[in-house]
Structure 1
Amino acid sequence: MKPAVDPATPAVRYVEIDESRAGQRLDNFLIATLKGVPKSHIYRILRKGEVRVNKGRARPDYRLEAGDVVRIPPLRQSPPKLDSAEAAEGFAWLLPRILYEDDDLMVVNKPAGLAVHAGSGVAVGLIEALRGLRPEAPFLDLAHRLDRDTSGCLLLAKTRPALLALHRLLREGDMEKRYLALVAGTWRGGQREVDVALEKNRPRSGERMVEVSETGKQATSLFVPHQRYGSATLMEIRLLTGRTHQARVHAAHLGHPIAGDDKYGDREFNRRLHKLGLRRLFLHAARLRFAHPVSGDKMDLEAPLPDELSGVLAKL
């Protein structure tokens, strides 16, 4: 007697790889495709040979080619937390914040307070919301990230080849990222380059912190003063590398922490700015400059300083 088939368990799937997935590692393809399946289980079925490429076994690091057929065995998948309609509900206001869009990429003026992706208690981030608003888009992914409390230019890819090309630009330092930040104190002199390695750690509280460390990853920032306000300076910060919290930690390392920074900042300075109406981190991704990953055209995109930040400057 055959065992009853559990309707919650899908049948064997055969997926033909198209150009958008060509070049991707097999394990990464499975992780992206099998939402809700633990990574440990994905590597287990790979080791056991239950996943086949063109009817043969394949290693996790096998690079998929266009036309490959991947056999995916029956697997239980956790239901998605939100479907597209649910994710989009209440986020239509994001659409007018799209600064630029074509067939390959999108640039969004992200507001402060919105996480770029779900996780750590966040049910829907910007990327989930945009996927819900654009259910017809076959591919949409973050090319880089911004902290939840940072506003401004956020770059997304609409095809996998574009994503890989944008990652290459970021990795090789061929994308210019300029931020505006209000920092504590009067800046002396002109522009200054900071080349100080950074390392992530988790203190006893469990909160992720980044600190200056000789054993960390190389990080370089260029600080250019724009306007001095006595006890504060409006600064342009150009990130020449893309480390977590780089602008915030480098600013604090120089003795000029960013206003509103409750992790690396100055409490007394933050208290004074709070009285002037600052209710967030004064860090804004103002400009992105790069070569378009497909056409090669020069892209120069800007996000204006939000009213809640320009209003604070007006009071200084």
Structure 2
Amino acid sequence: MADGRDVQWVEVGEGQSGQRVDNFLMARLKGVPRALVYRIVRKGEVRVNKKRVKVDHRLATGDLVRIPPLRVAPREAVKEVSEGLRNLLAGSVLVEGPDWLVINKPAGLAVHGGSGVKIGLIEALRQVREDLDFLELVHRLDRDTSGCLLLAKSRPALLALNDSLKKHQMDKQYLALVGGRWPARRDFVSARLERYELANGERRVRVDPAGKVARTRFAVREAFAGVTLVEAEPITGRTHQIRVHAAHAGHPLLGDDKYGTREGEAQARRLGLSRLFLHAASLTFPEPSSGRPVQIRAPLPEELEAALVRARAALA
């Protein structure tokens, strides 16, 4: 697959000012894996104003970026977005502002490619939204989690939203179905989390006193026979935080193939669940340009709603 037979010189616009050169290249080199982008930058094939740069070099308005011709082996290339995925993503935008958008991420789709994933949500969206010169994730969701995902359409918006995230001005509310009866008195789970790898290279998270501080607020929304629907609000933003904290509290999420139990697997089958019951139901953040609060809600996917209907029927 060729991305151009001749060297390209691309001028950096105002919307790309401050962007890292690797992210600038990723947005323009369709089908090129990040590892190859890093390689051509290290080898000096990419130049900014005729000078060699590192991958973390920040661009400025008016910079001229040299992009070499590339040929990508089929096994390396990022997969072209399918028509089905293109239509799914186009119909998943919940709300779009002038410099941001919130998408209702489908479960089973990784937010970015890598580690064997040929195409992630961000790569697919960049193909779908060819009208945008800039598109970056503000935060992430686990591959198996659905719901509100915020993206920035300009560099200034990304910086403003990242700042809001760091200052805890962004609220994320999740809905999760957990095993057992969650005690109403348990408001918070505070347990340090540590990332580690299994022998096969799979990344996991566990509670460890030497890990990073992590805190999640839980609130009971609805109790059923043997399971509870809870609202979860991560105060910190650690990998798999809600899933590991719920399991640590003795109430693993239904459909969780990493931190669940056999009893939870049986409960999931009984309710017709074939996926993780974790959904980013709402997101509140300050609008980048005005600072006004924006709240977006994502409806529960049909499969999760159907599981709740079955759980309610079991009580009748």
Question: The TM-score by the shorter chain falls in which range?
Answer: 0.7 to 0.9
Deviations 1:96-133 (A, max 9, x none): 22110122111111222222233344333322332222
Measured in 2, the distance between the counterparts of 1:255 and 1:163 equals: 37
Pair 260,294 (structure 1): closer, same or farther in 2 beyond 3 Å: same
Pair 113,256 (structure 1): closer, same or farther in 2 beyond 3 Å: same
Pair 51,96 (structure 1): closer, same or farther in 2 beyond 3 Å: closer
Which residue, 266, 274, 280 being the options, matches 2:261? Answer: 266
Q: How many angstroms does 1:90 deviate by?
A: 1.7
Q: How many angstroms does 1:148 deviate by?
A: 1.8
Counterpart position of 1:3: none
Unaligned runs of at least 5 residues, structure 2: 312-316
Measured in 2, the distance between the counterparts of 1:121 and 1:90 equals: 21
Runs of 4+ in structure 1 off by over 6 angstroms are none
Q: Secondary structure at the match of 1:272?
A: helix
Q: Secondary structure at the match of 2:174?
A: strand
Pair 258,192 (structure 1): closer, same or farther in 2 beyond 3 Å: same
Measured in 2, the distance between the counterparts of 1:238 and 1:123 equals: 31
Pair 164,79 (structure 1): closer, same or farther in 2 beyond 3 Å: farther
Pair 77,214 (structure 1): closer, same or farther in 2 beyond 3 Å: farther
Structure 2 residue 212 is the aligned partner of structure 1 residue 217: yes
Q: Secondary structure at the match of 1:87?
A: coil
Counterpart position of 1:105: 100
Structure 2 residue 17 is the aligned partner of structure 1 residue 22: yes
Q: Percent identity?
A: 51
Deviations 1:17-43 (A, max 9, x none): 222221234465456656453524422
Pair 187,13 (structure 1): closer, same or farther in 2 beyond 3 Å: same
Q: Whose radius of gyration is greater, 1 or 2?
A: 1
Counterpart position of 2:84: 90
Q: How many angstroms does 1:56 deviate by?
A: 5.2
Give the residue type in structure 1 aligned to 2:106.
Answer: P
Pair 13,124 (structure 1): closer, same or farther in 2 beyond 3 Å: closer
Measured in 1, the distance between the counterparts of 2:128 and 2:20 equals: 28
Pair 18,313 (structure 1): closer, same or farther in 2 beyond 3 Å: same
RMSD: 2.7
Q: How many angstroms does 1:293 deviate by?
A: 1.2
Deviations 1:254-289 (A, max 9, x none): 111111111101211221231221111111100000
Alignment of 1:73-88 (within 5 A): 74=68, 76-78=70-72, 81=77, 86-88=80-82
Q: Secondary structure at the match of 2:81?
A: helix
Q: How many angstroms does 1:247 deviate by?
A: 0.6
Structure 2 residue 269 is the aligned partner of structure 1 residue 254: no
TM-score between both structures, scaled by the size of structure 1 = 0.85
Unaligned runs of at least 5 residues, structure 1: 1-6
TM-score between both structures, scaled by the size of structure 2 = 0.85
Counterpart position of 2:152: 157
Deviations 1:187-211 (A, max 9, x none): 2233522232212111113221111
Equivalent residues of 1:88, 1:130 under 8 A apart: no
Give the residue type in structure 2 aligned to 1:247.
Answer: I
The alignment covers a number of residue pairs equal to: 303
